[in-house]
Structure 1
Amino acid sequence: MTDKRSKNEIIKEHSHQLRGTLAEGLLKVETGAIAEDDQQLIKFHGSYIQDDRDVRGERGKKKLEKAYSFMIRLRIPGGVVTPKQWLGLDTIASTYANGTMRLTTRETFQFHGVIKSNLKRTMQSFNDICLDTLAACGDVNRNVMTAANPHLSKAHKQAYDLGKAISEHLLPRTGAYHEIWLDGEKVEDASRPAKKDEEPIYGVHYLPRKFKVVVAVPPDNDVDIYAHDLGYIAIVEKGELVGWNVTVGGGMGMTHGDTNTFPRTADLLGFCKPDQAIDVAEKVVTVQRDWGNRENRARARLKYTIEDRGLDNFRDEVERRLGFKFEKPKPFKFTGTGDKIGWRQTIDAKKTSDKAWHLTLFVENGRIKDRPGYALRTALREIAELGICDFVCTANQNVILANATAKAKSKIEAVFKSHGVSLDVSSGLRRNAMSCVALPTCGLALAEAERFLPDLVTALEESLDKAGLNDDDIVIRMTGCPNGCARPYLAEIGLVGRNPGLYNLYLGAAFNGSRLSKLYAQDVDKQRIVSLLEPLFIAYSKEREKGEHFGDFAIRHGAVAITPAGNQFHSDVKLV
């Protein structure tokens, strides 16, 4: 009988629980790469092999091997790091990576440019500061995101605690990570033995595809809950958390030209009590493990399982495994997906003296580096050396300097000022801009993103000035390919790379992240993007209704049709 499973399923089955030949491959000095199968397995360890595409052609002409290096992504549930950890990460960036720290769209860090001979040293350096990369990538539950800043309120702390608990509960049990990278040592704060080889939740095949969990605290939808496989929405009554609305089936990836693939917003599954939340996560994961598509990876995410099986059938199976039924979802309201840039104070402290200060700092596309007149990385390192605040990575690629006193607040501001770092952002559009890395390192990128979006926003700011909209919050996101790492299909203005310099332009997503966008124009370059958006900005300025956001206006104005569900993402498209 022919085995119809995808190649990745065979690789996982024969990997000896994610070991493969990684340990042996690290010792092969004749190449900067690793074996093909190991390139899939190393993802489970938090790393992707990449090459510098800027020099690929030149090296090919000289018959040289590609300029291979590795991207390493950390697992930091909730995104919180201490000043000591920040300093350690800063050192690693200079010692082993490309001299920058990259905040991702999943509340963690990526390090680029790590060569194979430094991979193990880098992993051990992370371990030295009590951080790891296990399950940051691969067909498992990845980094769990929680509402930004656990210090902000009691509910935010409970969201953070749940996210950490789910992350630990769904962590692979294999000892492969510790054996390969840490010489069998046990991580200092690990809750289970390093060499326990059973996988009671995942089994030998793990999940059909990646799995992403988020925890939100209304009214902020800063984790983009509708974009993820599993979500928890905090329900707070009279100041106390009474439980969680559970969402399932969100996901952003698709393939150009394949209408069987599409982004999808999550559905409400039901309401659970606080002590049921972790069990719910496990049972949702196991249903996806057993029901997910293992033949076609393009249709293997939970969103397609629910599309194919139906939400009611999926709920019934989860409830059967749980041994109890969900309650009906409780009322809630989201107002936006962006971070509140600038200073905020703890919300529910009983005494004014207990109200700590928290600074959400805008970091363009998440890239922490120094440039002439704007020494961002140096400033953050100096603040970490002072030890006067914690650091929190946000889902919007920004960083929060959290839990500072009034005295520390002044010191933080002084450090930033001395290094040319302004706390202001040039426009509401830039404040809500986000991109993936794309070229030159991502092997999937079809076009630029991180290196292009800032200049595009600058050009669009001229149009916004003409329309008097410079201070208005409008969400714009860009990716170099259709996989959706920066969640462009939930942006009011979404740009997705098709070819070098050319993008698909999407409009009409909801400002609060609850509705997908629709294709407006195909294969447009920078000039065309600006020429298409400027008249819409002007019309929006003149014709918008009170409280109406740009995405809602684009639909009412007739620029695009509404997308009521992911399976209608490709329908009713009228290109300009």
Structure 2
Amino acid sequence: MSDQKLAVNEYLKTDSDYLRGTINEGLQTEVTGAFSEGDQQLIKFHGFYQQDDRDLRNERKAQKLEPLYSFMLRARVPGGVCTPEQWLGVDKIASELTSSNSIRLTTRQTFQYHGIPKRNLKTIIQGLDRQALDSIAACGDVNRNVMCNPNPVESKLHQQAYEWAKKLSDHLLPHTQAYAEIWLDKEKLVSTADEQPLEPVYGKTYLPRKFKMAVAVPPDNDVDVYTNDLGFVAVADGDELVGFNLTAGGGMGSTHGETDTFPRLADDFGFIRAEDTLKFAEAVMTVQRDWGNRVNRKRARLKYTIVDHGYDAFKAEVEKRVGKAFEAKREVIIGDRGDRYGWVKGIDNQWHLTLYIESGRVKDQPGKMLQTGLREIAKVHKGDFRMTSNQNMIVASVAEQDKAEIEGLARQHGLLGEVISQTRGHSIACVALPTCSLAMAEAERYFPDFISKVEALQDKHGFAEQAIVVRITGCPNGCARPFAAEIGLVGKAPGRYNLYLGASYEGTRLNKMYRENVQEAEILEVLDTLFAQYATERQKGETFGNFTVRTGVVGAVLDAAKDFHG
């Protein structure tokens, strides 16, 4: 590979002076709302993407105007936990400095802003800093926001898991001071000419591609642990966390029509002791740093490194770098991926309220003043807020005497009271149009109507109470993890999707394409027929995904490299 020309991004990173590039100069340029092409890649490491409003693109072109550029900024919030005071700061920024005037909870347990003018970027990042929040490494070829099961009910074990998620996030942050210098006006401490050891984990060119981690606490799999590059499945002795089953090599992205790209679920590598967590995480990451594909970015994720080099060779190299072997995998049960809606009482006698936020969009609309409602709750709440990977919000640690006030505010503002079906509550969508530059079809804006039609078909065939995991994305990059859904829609063109079926309900098996480039009418016709069969032929307790595999509707994807496209 050393004789091959590297991917363009590799040269950009090498020449960037540890992610500085000419970002500062671009901020000062007022003749355009955009950054230079190279800096558009580097700003991702600082937590944001350049976008434009695609609904207005043709109109502005006709007026001989540049696209209406704006930015999406994503925060780093390990485990999705923030204080009410932090949320009020987050809300104030959204209201005053973004054109979308909304907050979007993401599928990786954080929040992001849309519609940020370039002139407001620095103000926003400094505002987040005042709330002890940041956006560094929320995007780019680095370890991104570390997810963790947010369940506050069994508090002691989950708190321990959350602490490890924070440690992983902090330990694997880039060391460069570029973020502090550019956005927080910190002085440059040293010349970078002698800074080769500056990034002890990442090196001067960082990782070949993005890297995602999650900490799961069985039996919950709400973080979709097997879809991550690196996963830590908690193993407990009573309510004490003793270590993790480590998984590696998951990832959802693929490219339409290119069969050498595919989604993949992670492999199980074995058990590690809790005290060795950071060592194993760093070893996996540095093997990926050194072995990953830096020629073809479409084949640069850890999943391809493991496929190309082989499971045994990869495992041996990780063990060599740690200086310790994996122990045998501990037996755990992987179960539900959904959230627990409504009030749940924890073992510490505190109450926790999970609120359904459709597609994670926190915005005021007629009859549903969601943003105002969360703001008013934050003003009186004494516990914390927990964002979930299903794009919902938990108002956690509410005392008995405060429960009525919190519930009253939630109901008053449309955050509580609506009956949500099991299917809707288990399903998610990415942002897609109009802001995502990669989107080929609608997702977030299409999600409510499509789910309603799926619910109607379930009701028609008599199993409305059965949860089906449905996920919609505007493109095959897979931000909403559609390839791990029992029913997955992946955008192919405006109004057209590839239909995928057959993932397991628990998230332990991928789905497979059943129809290519189809419109809604055909999708619903297919589901109508399959739902009729499922209603009469399913076995006791059999989920829809398992039914489609057992009856041969689609083949099981056991080895993604061979089965997903085959």
Q: TM-score per shorter chain, which class?
A: over 0.9
What pairs up with 1:464-479 in 2 under 5 angstroms? Answer: 464-479=458-473
SS in 1 for 2:352: strand
Contact 2:355/2:416 (<8 A) preserved: no
Shift of 1:196: 11
Q: Which residue of 2 aligns with 1:190?
A: none
- The question of 1:14 aligning with 2:3 is answered no
Q: Which residue of 2 aligns with 1:191?
A: none
Q: Which residue of 2 aligns with 1:155?
A: 157
SS in 1 for 2:259: coil
Letter in 2 for 1:369: K
1:181 to 160, 167, 183: 183
- The question of 1:133 aligning with 2:121 is answered no
Q: Which residue of 2 aligns with 1:536?
A: 530
1:100 to 98, 102, 110: 102
Give the TM-score of the pair, scaled to structure 2. 0.96
Q: Which residue of 2 aligns with 1:43?
A: 44
Q: Which residue of 1 aligns with 2:78?
A: 77
SS in 1 for 2:71: strand
Give the Cα–Cα distance (whole angstroms) in 2 for the partners of residues 491 and 105 of structure 1.
14
Give the Cα–Cα distance (whole angstroms) in 1 for the partners of residues 539 and 65 of structure 2.
60
SS in 1 for 2:454: helix
Shift of 1:419: 2.0
What pairs up with 1:476-495 in 2 under 5 angstroms? Answer: 476-495=470-489
What pairs up with 1:326-365 in 2 under 5 angstroms? Answer: 326-346=326-346, 349=347, 354-365=348-359
Contact 1:453/1:478 (<8 A) preserved: yes
- With 229-238 and 560-569 compared, the bigger mean Cα shift is at 560-569
Contact 1:46/1:73 (<8 A) preserved: yes
Distance 1:234 1:6, change over 3 A: same
Shift of 1:185: 7.2
Shift of 1:472: 1.3
Shift of 1:238: 3.0
Letter in 2 for 1:32: G
- The question of 1:269 aligning with 2:269 is answered yes
- With 541-550 and 499-508 compared, the bigger mean Cα shift is at 541-550
Shift of 1:150: 4.8
Contact 1:104/1:366 (<8 A) preserved: yes
Q: Which residue of 2 aligns with 1:226?
A: 226
1:442 to 425, 433, 436: 436
Contact 1:70/1:114 (<8 A) preserved: yes
SS in 1 for 2:54: coil
Shift of 1:534: 1.4
Distance 1:2 1:568, change over 3 A: closer
Shift of 1:344: 1.6
Contact 2:196/2:203 (<8 A) preserved: no
Distance 1:26 1:402, change over 3 A: same
Q: What are the Cα deviations for residues 466-521 of structure 1, in whole angstroms up to 9, with x where unaligned?
A: 11222211100000000000000000000000000000000000000000001111
Give the Cα–Cα distance (whole angstroms) in 2 for the partners of residues 290 and 104 of structure 1.
30
Contact 1:445/1:480 (<8 A) preserved: yes
Shift of 1:243: 1.1
Q: Which residue of 1 aligns with 2:375?
A: 381
Contact 2:227/2:250 (<8 A) preserved: yes
Give the Cα–Cα distance (whole angstroms) in 1 for the partners of residues 445 and 199 of structure 2.
41
Shift of 1:239: 3.1
Shift of 1:137: 0.2
SS in 2 for 1:527: helix
Indicate the percent of aligned positions where both proteins have the same amino acid: 54
Shift of 1:22: 0.3
Give the Cα–Cα distance (whole angstroms) in 2 for the partners of residues 152 and 111 of structure 1.
32
- With 223-232 and 336-345 compared, the bigger mean Cα shift is at 336-345
Shift of 1:236: 1.3
Shift of 1:2: 6.6
SS in 1 for 2:548: helix
Q: Which residue of 2 aligns with 1:202?
A: 202
Q: Which runs of 5+ in 1 are unaligned?
A: 187-194
Contact 1:342/1:423 (<8 A) preserved: no
1:371 to 356, 365, 370: 365
Q: Which residue of 2 aligns with 1:397?
A: 391
What pairs up with 1:290-309 in 2 under 5 angstroms? Answer: 290-309=290-309
- With 420-429 and 519-528 compared, the bigger mean Cα shift is at 420-429
Contact 1:336/1:512 (<8 A) preserved: yes
Shift of 1:158: 1.1
Query: How many residue pairs end up in the alignment?
Result: 558
Contact 1:12/1:41 (<8 A) preserved: yes
Q: Which residue of 2 aligns with 1:115?
A: 117
Letter in 1 for 2:79: G
Give the Cα–Cα distance (whole angstroms) in 1 for the partners of residues 148 and 421 of structure 2.
26
Q: Which residue of 1 aligns with 2:173?
A: 171
SS in 2 for 1:54: helix
Q: What are the Cα deviations for residues 12-42 of structure 1, in whole angstroms up to 9, with x where unaligned?
A: 0000000000001100000000111100000
Give the TM-score of the pair, scaled to structure 1. 0.95
- The question of 1:4 aligning with 2:5 is answered yes
Q: What are the Cα deviations for residues 405-462 of structure 1, in whole angstroms up to 9, with x where unaligned?
A: 1222211111122223334443111111100000000000000000001111112221
Give the Cα–Cα distance (whole angstroms) in 1 for the partners of residues 250 and 498 of structure 2.
21
Letter in 1 for 2:275: D
Distance 1:281 1:176, change over 3 A: same
SS in 2 for 1:71: strand
Contact 1:247/1:267 (<8 A) preserved: yes
Q: Which runs of 5+ in 2 are unaligned?
A: 189-194
Q: Which residue of 2 aligns with 1:239?
A: 239
Shift of 1:240: 2.4
Q: What are the Cα deviations for residues 83-118 of structure 1, in whole angstroms up to 9, with x where unaligned?
A: 001111111111111111000000000100000011
Root mean square deviation of aligned Cα: 1.5
Letter in 2 for 1:68: Y
Distance 1:571 1:36, change over 3 A: closer
Contact 1:362/1:425 (<8 A) preserved: no
Q: What are the Cα deviations for residues 341-386 of structure 1, in whole angstroms up to 9, with x where unaligned?
A: 222222xx3xxxx321111111100001111111111111100011
Contact 2:208/2:294 (<8 A) preserved: yes
Distance 1:561 1:63, change over 3 A: same
Shift of 1:214: 0.5
Q: Which residue of 1 aligns with 2:192?
A: none
Letter in 2 for 1:512: E
SS in 1 for 2:244: strand
Letter in 2 for 1:77: P
Shift of 1:403: 0.7
Distance 1:530 1:359, change over 3 A: same
Shift of 1:61: 1.4
Give the Cα–Cα distance (whole angstroms) in 2 for the partners of residues 409 and 491 of structure 1.
35
Distance 1:452 1:185, change over 3 A: farther
Q: Which residue of 2 aligns with 1:189?
A: none
- With 221-230 and 457-466 compared, the bigger mean Cα shift is at 457-466
Q: Which residue of 2 aligns with 1:192?
A: none
Contact 1:391/1:400 (<8 A) preserved: yes
SS in 2 for 1:26: helix
Shift of 1:568: 2.9
Letter in 2 for 1:120: K
Shift of 1:389: 2.9
What pairs up with 1:447-458 in 2 under 5 angstroms? Answer: 447-458=441-452
Give the Cα–Cα distance (whole angstroms) in 2 for the partners of residues 156 and 423 of structure 1.
28
